[in-house]
């Protein structure tokens, strides 16, 4: 840490500079590409990928001198299999390399090995692949149509190509719906997105001939789970594989999923007994590195005359692509949507069907917020439309329906802990000054300019452990032949103080840019009376850390933070016992402050914690407590979860001639509980909003009617730049919930969750003179301009279901 630190009462709550930053900003970080570059003798891999969305793989031919491995070579490698034990869940295997069928453009079908990246790329062009092209399923409507081709030849319990079909219907729903003053119906949809991390996927597999162990450096979010998945596929003891995630250039969920390429790379490295590197290209990243959020929701709200939501009905459809993501399965989007659609609102009666439908497209995996941006879009557009139809103010209708009593049990069984839904809405509205905006809006309209304002309220489920993940599946019976369900959740840490009094914290979580090492240091050092620069946090290395679940779902600060606090409290108690024996008094009277142990209220100078530490290691025979001759504590935390909440307000200006939307102001009232490091929290919110802006206005993966991805470069896929980002004003509220022992709630996904709905509502408000509303994102200039010209709402135009059977043809 640069510069001196003043000694505060607590480190928690201070906007400390991130401990991780100096090395990164100076270019001293280590990424997978650096590991590969330093290994001058390593080989390089490229993957042969399918050019067709659906087909029968006939042959793969390589010229002499080209090293290529296919599924036939990997005959003893087990497929990747992620399961849930639910009657509506259909499990399928994911082969490491395609066997007899290809199921999406970009699917890996062979791995080419060469002495350099350029030679591997050249060799790739020499591989001849013969595929008999088959009809492709490129939309969910096509997938469930009668007679549709099956993406996988398995038995579906319901509609064809439907792999998850969750349903819920409360007892009083029908009566509540029938007695409503008005039923408001909308359809919202979202285009498919890529997480598009700055660093695409990359891996370096090393083989040690002396021990027979492999080491995989890869750009990951879940190193331990990756090790488990690869070891299961290759039939290895997990101890024979070390997995390391060095510095990671962005993850956002897409790097929490086991990559087929990583399995193939480790296999090839062991087969050849050589080190092999693979650095993914941006085109490959768009083609094959997991997509997200191609969803359509039909939502009906039954309202009373004064705007109370009496009942909610949803038909939610998620396109989950061609294969199941490991470990969270292709149930992750539809099951989250089903459970969490009501959000922060009081919904007494609820009927929902939520489906995961497979298509011949790249598989989906969690991306920042998972289904929540769409859930919030659906609910916030519903309330805006209901307010217009009922003649009620849009702020008042939200105040009338937001949850006020806690804990609150939703109709899906979720328990929402203490939060500030009403208060964040009020704070955001006060900051926005709606009366002033309406005056500016009217004046602008008189000049031919179209301004709009939009509100978005949401609850973000964060820091949830095994109780939440176990609820997605029926219980697994140990000792049976059922396929085991992977249930993520707990975190375990090991905190050690060495003889010099400095700390090492080993965590199972895997930070990748969130500043977690800094915030954990703040939490631990508050308990032990030390400075954050006296602790080293070790993460993302399976040889050096306890088994853990990595970083995703806004969980690391809550769960790893809770485990770290518990370990620090245990270690602090041991130090108090030692200090009390030396200084006199009881352990409860000892304060750990400024690197010393002191008797509270005493004038004694106390004893340095470093002295106590040296005594434990070097004079263990004299220890008064006859305890362990080491200073080490283990913390384990596995909570049910806690809900953060926020209100976003966006101001926009829309140019009706071009359809361009400019965000002129963005306001956030956020409640993430206790802020361990306010600067890091603000950074998470800013980054999340940037990706929410991308979802709302810019980013879209587009397939043609053959299932070919046409947006495979940054010439076609448009992320926002700093020029498109507005200034963001943030107000923090703080609700301390007993559901989190640190008092902190997760904040990593909130910006992405709330921004799209606020922007869609703002554009709809701006376009009121044209009687046009936004119900599909991204609201691109072309779509906005077309909606204005036609005078119809902005909806997605789905691909037509093909009627004739396409001819099967063999293509080389």
The phi, psi pair for 166, rounded to 5°, reads -85, 140
Alpha carbon distance 223, 220 (integer Å):
6
Q: In what order do the strands lie in the sheet with 642-654?
A: 450-462, 642-654, 661-671, 728-733
C-alpha pair distances (Å), 534 with each of 76, 518, 609, 649, 735: 48, 11, 12, 41, 30
> Which residues have a Cβ under 8 Å from the Cβ of 324 and sit 6 or more positions away?
81, 82, 91, 92, 94, 163, 330, 363
CA dihedral in degrees (775, 780, 784, 785; nearest 10)?
-160
- Are 15 and 679 contacting, i.e. CB atoms less than 8 angstroms apart? yes
pLDDT score at 359:
98
**Which uninterrupted H or E stretch holds 297?**
strand 295-303
pLDDT score at 737:
93
Closest CA to 325 of 217, 222, 465: 222
Positions of the chain with pLDDT lower than 50, given as ranges: 1-7, 478, 480, 803-812
- Are 460 and 643 contacting, i.e. CB atoms less than 8 angstroms apart? yes
> Which residues have a Cβ under 8 Å from the Cβ of 347 and sit 6 or more positions away?
309, 311, 312, 410, 411
Reduce the secondary structure of 514-580 to three states and give it as a string.
CCHHHHHHHHHHHHHCCCHHHEEEECCECCCCCCCCCCCCCCHHHHHHHHHHHHHHHHHHHHHHHHH
- Are 184 and 174 contacting, i.e. CB atoms less than 8 angstroms apart? no
pLDDT score at 470:
85
Which DSSP category does 221 fall into?
S
Alpha carbon distance 671, 790 (integer Å):
41
Closest CA to 757 of 427, 431, 374: 374
Alpha carbon distance 697, 126 (integer Å):
41
Alpha carbon distance 570, 666 (integer Å):
44
The phi, psi pair for 548, rounded to 5°, reads -150, 180
The phi, psi pair for 285, rounded to 5°, reads -60, -45
pLDDT score at 619:
85
Closest CA to 595 of 519, 523, 495, 500: 500
Which residues are bridge partners to 166 per DSSP? 354
Longest dimension (CA), the chain: 91
First to last CA, the chain: 59
Q: How far is CA 669 from the centre of its chain?
A: 22
Could you tell me where the DSSP H helices lie in 406-535? 421-432, 434-446, 466-470, 516-528
DSSP result, 481-500: SSPPPP----EEEEEEE-TT
pLDDT score at 701:
98
């Amino acid at each position: 840490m640069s510069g001196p630190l003043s000694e505060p009462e607590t480190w928690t709550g201070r906007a400390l500079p991130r401990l991780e930053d100096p090395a990164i900003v100076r270019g001293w970080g280590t990424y997978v590409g650096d590991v590969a570059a330093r290994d001058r003798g390593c080989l390089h891999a490229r993957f042969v990928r399918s050019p067709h969305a659906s087909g029968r793989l006939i042959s793969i031919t390589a010229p002499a001198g080209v090293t290529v491995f296919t599924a036939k070579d990997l005959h003893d490698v087990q497929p990747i299999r992620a399961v849930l034990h639910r009657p509506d869940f259909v499990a399928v295997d994911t082969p490491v390399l395609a066997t007899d069928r290809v199921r999406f453009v970009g699917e890996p079908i062979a791995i080419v090995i060469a002495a350099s990246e350029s030679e591997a790329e050249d060799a790739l062009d020499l591989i001849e692949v013969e595929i008999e092209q088959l009809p492709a399923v490129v939309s969910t409507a096509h997938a469930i149509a009668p007679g549709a081709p099956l993406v996988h030849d398995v038995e579906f319990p319901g509609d064809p190509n439907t792999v998850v079909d969750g349903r819920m219907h409360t007892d009083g729903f029908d009566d509540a719906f029938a007695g409503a003053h008005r039923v408001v119906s909308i359809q919202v949809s979202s285009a498919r997105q890529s997480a598009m991390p700055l660093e695409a996927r990359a891996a370096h597999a090393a083989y040690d001939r002396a021990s027979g162990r492999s080491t995989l450096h890869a750009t990951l979010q879940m190193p331990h789970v990756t090790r488990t998945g690869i070891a299961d596929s290759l039939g290895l003891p997990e101890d024979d594989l070390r997995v390391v995630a060095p510095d990671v250039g962005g993850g956002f969920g897409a790097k929490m999923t086991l990559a087929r390429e990583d399995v193939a790379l480790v296999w090839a490295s062991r087969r050849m007994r050589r080190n092999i590197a693979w650095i993914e290209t941006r085109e490959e990243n768009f083609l094959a590195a997991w997509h997200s959020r191609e969803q359509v929701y039909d939502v009906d709200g039954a309202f009373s005359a004064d705007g109370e939501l009496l009942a909610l009905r949803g038909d939610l459809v998620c396109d989950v692509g061609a294969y199941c993501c490991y470990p969270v399965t292709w149930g992750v989007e539809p099951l989250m949507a089903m459970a969490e659609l009501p959000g922060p609102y009081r919904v007494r009666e609820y009927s929902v069907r939520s489906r995961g439908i497979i298509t011949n497209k790249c598989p989906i995996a969690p991306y920042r917020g998972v289904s929540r941006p769409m859930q919030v879009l659906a609910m916030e557009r519903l309330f805006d439309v209901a307010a217009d139809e009922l003649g009620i103010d849009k702020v008042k209708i939200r105040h009338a329906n937001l949850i006020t009593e806690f804990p609150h049990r939703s109709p899906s069984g979720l328990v929402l802990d203490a939060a500030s839904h009403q208060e964040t809405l009020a704070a955001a509205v006060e900051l926005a000054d709606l009366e002033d905006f309406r005056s500016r809006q009217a004046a602008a309209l008189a000049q031919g300019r179209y301004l709009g304002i939009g509100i978005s309220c949401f609850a973000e489920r964060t820091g949830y452990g095994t109780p939440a993940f176990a609820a997605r599946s029926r219980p697994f019976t140990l000792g049976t032949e059922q396929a085991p369900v992977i249930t993520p959740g707990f975190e375990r840490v090991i905190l050690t103080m060495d003889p010099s009094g400095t700390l090492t914290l080993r965590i199972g979580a895997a930070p990748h840019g969130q500043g977690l090492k800094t915030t954990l240091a703040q939490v631990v050092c508050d308990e032990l009376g030390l400075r954050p620069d006296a602790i080293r946090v070790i993460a993302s290395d399976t040889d050096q850390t306890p088994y853990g679940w990595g970083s995703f779902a806004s969980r690391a600060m809550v769960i790893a933070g809770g485990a770290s606090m518990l370990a620090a409290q245990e270690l602090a108690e041991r130090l108090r016992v030692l200090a009390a024996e030396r200084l006199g008094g009881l352990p409860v009277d000892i304060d750990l402050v400024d690197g010393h142990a002191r008797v509270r209220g005493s004038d004694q100078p106390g004893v340095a914690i470093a002295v106590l530490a040296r005594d434990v290691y070097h004079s263990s025979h004299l220890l008064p407590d006859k305890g362990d001759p080491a200073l080490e504590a283990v913390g384990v935390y596995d909570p049910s979860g806690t809900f953060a909440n926020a209100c976003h307000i966006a101001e926009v200006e829309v140019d009706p001639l071009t359809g361009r939307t400019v965000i002129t102001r963005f306001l956030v009232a956020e409640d993430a509980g206790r802020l361990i490091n306010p600067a890091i929290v603000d950074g998470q919110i800013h980054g999340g909003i940037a990706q929410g802006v991308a979802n709302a206005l810019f980013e879209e993966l587009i397939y043609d009617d053959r299932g070919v991805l046409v947006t495979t470069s940054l010439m076609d896929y448009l992320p926002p730049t700093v020029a498109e980002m507005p200034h963001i004003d943030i107000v923090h509220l703080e609700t301390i919930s007993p559901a989190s022992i640190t008092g902190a709630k997760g904040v990593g996904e909130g910006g992405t969750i709330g921004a799209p709905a606020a922007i869609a509502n703002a554009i709809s408000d701006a376009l009121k003179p044209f009687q046009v509303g936004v119900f599909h994102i991204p609201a691109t200039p072309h779509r906005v301009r077309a909606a204005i010209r036609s005078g119809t709402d902005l909806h997605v135009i789905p691909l037509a279901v093909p009627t004739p059977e396409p001819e099967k043809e063999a293509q080389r």
